[in-house]
Chains A and B, each alone.
Chain A
Amino acid sequence: MQNQYTDWKQALRSGLLGGAITVLLSLIGIVTAFSNTYIVNKVISFGELLIVGPIAALSLVAIQKARARHPGLLILTAIISGLTSGLVILALAGLGQVINLRAMFLNASNDLYAIYAYKQALVPGLLLRLLVSGLVGALVAGFTLLPGRIKAAISQGLLYVILVGLMGRLIGTVLNTWGFVAILFKWMFVANSLSPIGAIFLFLLTGGLAYWRYGRPKTKQITDPKKQKLVRWGTLGGFGLLLIFLPNILGMWFSEILDNVGLFILMGLGLNIVVGFAGLLDLGYVAFYAIGAYTIGVLTSPELGFFNLTFWQAFPIALIMAFLAGVLLGLPILKMRGDYLAIVTLGFGEIIRILVLSDWLKPWLGGTQGIQRIQRPVVGIGEFSITLQSQQQLYYLILAGIVLVAFVAVRLRDSRLGRTWMALREDEDVAVAMGINHVATKLTAFAMGALFSGIGGTLFAAKIGSIYPSSFQFLVSINILSLIIVGGMGSIPGVFVGALALMGLPELMREFAEYRYLFYGAALVAMMLTKPEGLWPEARHRLEFHEEETPPPEESEAVPESA
């Protein structure tokens, strides 16, 4: 009896929470805004998914938390949860009829209530909504009672349908550049969303695949070291080839995204040295990015007309400037720790931005009006030279930069210097007591980080052709910091994964227009909650999180001789 009582309460609580989340999403406005963004054309819209999704998710929670095991009771629990959610939605709609909620909440509009009521008359429509909510609960319960294999197939199929449906427009942009192939896929998409037939096809395909794969071993472990090597090089080679052809395959728009991701990978690799290796929290990393970009701008722009150097003549000077700035910032903060360090670096970033914006330095740095007509890099000799101008061309320059910087970063990590950085990160006092020169160590970390960021800045200036102070906001520092932590602090592959996730994602999320930062924020929280160690953690850190697991074999190669 006691059990059933708590199950009731749990169901009610889940239902209330589900309803509350739906109401929240409605009041934020995304339900209305996406009510015409179809996932499956004219069948289900993203807005509708945002109403039903939380209800379904919380019904699932109610079932999982329920103590009862009897199928009938479970279904009942889920239905109660779903109905409660539906009632919450009804309550909002009802309240909206009585008082003018719109004076405060802009999105509590009649449009919203009409969406709740499936565009029917309010009373029958809302009753239908209630019914559907209960039904959703029942369906979820029914789903949980299915065998695992079918469950996997259904959830996989649904996931792909939703993702592909949401990204319909983007997929269209890519397909359009593929000419003939586009025709093969035309029937799957109608007006930037999946056609019903396309949705069924996709569901059956991906669901079937999951059904077939279920329970099979994932991959055979290759134990033969020779074969292992072959596979590794093969994968690497294939990956390299893919990277080289990527801009042509994906077209201009994706090249733009790749370029942006690339720039952030460059800077992420640099900040990873400062934060990930040496453990110095730097919130003003954008400063070096700005210094790199502005040095190129001042030296090459004919508009200012001081030097009129070419990009490649200015490039080494920009790197030297960034490097020196790193040392200069490094000096006063040698004795500071943790958050004191963070705030001083943050201040440094702001100081640089304010200086380049200021009217005081306007004759030299352009002030508000920025610097325009920055020289693009020219590669090749004589008549074989080309100016790298489009995003597709600059991609290769950025790629080359990444390869170089990543190589340096890996070598640094495995060098004596890298180990002293990590020793400093783990415990500064002990490291100093062991005879590590913490001054030199910290300064090199800062200077190397600054140097990499400076490279990023020069490439940014080359890519965009004109720079303004507004491109060097505090937010950039935050983004770079986020990407190395999301990727896994101190992990070099993590930087790549993190940059793809954090810089690629918001670009892909352009579909959500003004709501993209909302989704971005939610994604950031969700990612850290599910994988606090990062998407691709450094081997050493992975151990800290999962102490019971054995270390992966690759680690044995990277273990230092001892410091």
Chain B
Amino acid sequence: MTKRLFVVLSLFIVAALLLTACGQKGVECDDPIGCVVIGPNEPVHIAYALVVAGPNETLGIDSRNGIEIAISDTGGEILGHPVQFDGEDTGCNAEGGQAAGTKLAADSTIVAVIGTSCSSEARVAMPLFSEAGFVVVSPSNTAPDLTEAGNPNNYPGYFRTAHNDQVQGRVAAEFAYNVLGVRRAATIHDGSLYAEKLQEVFANTFAELGGTVTTQQAVDPNQTDMSSVLTSIAAGNPEIIYFPIFMPAGGFIIRQARITPGLEEVYLMGADGLFSPDVMQGGGAEVEGFMVSSPLVQGPDYDAFVAKYQEMFGTAPISIFHAHAYDAYMLVKAAIESVAIVQSDGTLIIPRQALRDAMAATTNFDGLTGNLTCTPTGDCADPYIAVYQYHAGQYPPEVIWQP
């Protein structure tokens, strides 16, 4: 039995190998990195590469929900073609990024990828995506190197709607030093690339301005008991603690800081990772006065978005990058519409390099997260960062400062 199977299999394989040589015929396309040809009634394929399973999944699922709302808001189609939206879990680690990247890169029908969730994934998956000719828009990568000109991690085709850590960390430090008038700061990160870089930028800027950074601490994202780290911070008598991390660890710090001797009156500040209704719930009464820096997402558009989110997924937004993901999809859609060539029979031809150029040329795009303008290296976020303050039992938090 097995022997016969082998013979058949090997014959089959040899045949396949021979036939591989005769590849598919190309459609006329003068784009340097090729075109996507979408026949009449065929869908426009947009994929996600987000972390949708595992301990960090709220990050990616929230983004994916944002994209799904964007698709539904635009009628589920681009230029009369339905949108095929599917993708891969990236696990928020390098090997997951590589696996997902390889799989998606093998699918030549994909026009654009929305992802990745974590910067470590982007560093591994981007070479694959870039080689495959995709446009990639990340709703939540914030590592500066990804869009730094000349950095080997800055690949062609990469864009992001999330804020570069350089921008947000600087704003937070300036706010603390100039507006709050504090001179002693402590920082906490959670071992994620996002938090570590953000607190580093904050600390450097704060020191440049003339303040003192008493200590730079770290916690585990799954840690619940923060007493040792908070006691250690209290020993340096800071006036502000900056912890740009996520829920639930951020909520635990908010709660436990107030019951740590020496930290009863300290300012607490986070970043957009803690801009979420979960903070209001998880922080309890102690959330009063907690500040976060975040892009200005407010107004009727955002309210309508949240209402739709509630209706479609049965819950309030579970993380923070849904609006960035929404904008990411909208950017891609607008870019496709501007470069796609519609033929008389309904066939859509999307030249890949032209699509990248169109993305890079985005200026003053009116999105949920502000006016988006892309830089040549891929930073599309509106650098307009506001500071919000939470009040117990009230969401969204109050805007207390904007540039």
Contact = CB atoms under 8 A, between A and B. Distances in A.
In-complex A–B contact (CB below 8 Å): yes
Interface of A: 102, 106-107, 109, 173, 176-181, 218-219, 231, 234-235, 238-239, 241-242, 245, 248-249, 251-253, 255-257, 260, 357-359, 367-370, 372-373, 391, 460, 463-471, 507, 510, 513-517
Given A179-B24, A181-B19, A235 B189 contact: no
Contact of A245 (B17, B23, B103): B17
Contacts of B2: 219, 235
B191 A173 contact: no
Given A180-B19, A370-B94, A238 B89 contact: no
Contacts, number: 127
Interface in B78-101: 87-89, 92-95, 98-100
Contacts of B88: 510, 513
A358 B123 CA distance: 21
A368 B124 contact: no
Nearest to B143: A369
A373 B152 CA distance: 9
Given A177-B20, A357-B191, 15 more contacts: A173-B107, A177-B106, A179-B23, A180-B19, A219-B1, A249-B17, A252-B106, A368-B196, A372-B153, A460-B95, A470-B92, A510-B99, A513-B52, A514-B52, A514-B89
Given A106-B314, A179-B22, A510-B89, A367 B196 contact: yes
B157 to A, nearest CB: 18
B103 A510 contact: yes
B193 A368 contact: yes
B21 to A, nearest CB: 8
B120 A470 contact: yes
B30 to A, nearest CB: 24
A249 B13 contact: yes
A179 B22 CA distance: 7
A368 B392 CA distance: 33
Interface stretch (B53-61, B231-239, B328-336, B367-375): B53-61
Interface string B22-54: 111000000000000000000000000000111
15 contacts: A173-B103, A176-B106, A176-B108, A181-B15, A219-B2, A260-B99, A368-B196, A372-B123, A460-B95, A464-B98, A465-B124, A470-B120, A510-B88, A510-B100, A510-B103
Given A179-B20, A242-B13, A256-B98, A235 B6 contact: yes
Nearest to A370: B120
A516 B10 contact: no
B123 A466 contact: yes
Interface of B: 1-3, 6, 9-10, 13, 15-17, 19-24, 52-54, 57, 61, 87-89, 92-95, 98-100, 102-103, 105-108, 120, 123-124, 152-153, 189, 191-193, 196-197, 216, 218, 313-315
Contacts of A468: 93-94, 120
B119 to A, nearest CB: 9
A101 to B, nearest CB: 10
A256 B98 CA distance: 8
A177 B106 CA distance: 9
A407 to B, nearest CB: 23
Contacts of B3: 231, 234-235
A517 B52 CA distance: 11
Contact of A391 (B102, B189, B191): B102
Contacts of A517: 53-54
Interface centre among B3, B191, B193 (most CB of A within 10 A): B191
Contacts of A465: 124
4 residue pairs, one from A and one from B, having the closest CB atoms:
A180-B19, A256-B102, A368-B196, A514-B52
Contact of B20 (A178, A239, A460): A178
Contacts of B123: 372, 466
Given A179-B23, A241-B10, A369 B106 contact: no
Nearest to A172: B107
Nearest to B92: A470
Nearest to B102: A256
Contact of A368 (B52, B99, B105, B192): B192
B191 A368 contact: yes
A313 B382 CA distance: 47
Contact of A507 (B61, B93, B99, B152): B99
A257 B88 CA distance: 14
Contacts of A106: 313-315
Contacts of B89: 510, 513-514, 516
A75 to B, nearest CB: 37
Contacts of B92: 470
Contacts of B6: 235, 238-239
A186 to B, nearest CB: 12
Given A106-B314, A179-B24, A466 B103 contact: no
Given A102-B314, A370-B120, A471-B93, A249 B98 contact: no
A79 B6 CA distance: 44
A239 B2 CA distance: 11
Contacts of A219: 1-2
Nearest to B19: A180
B54 A253 contact: no
Contacts of A464: 94-95, 98, 124
A109 B314 contact: yes
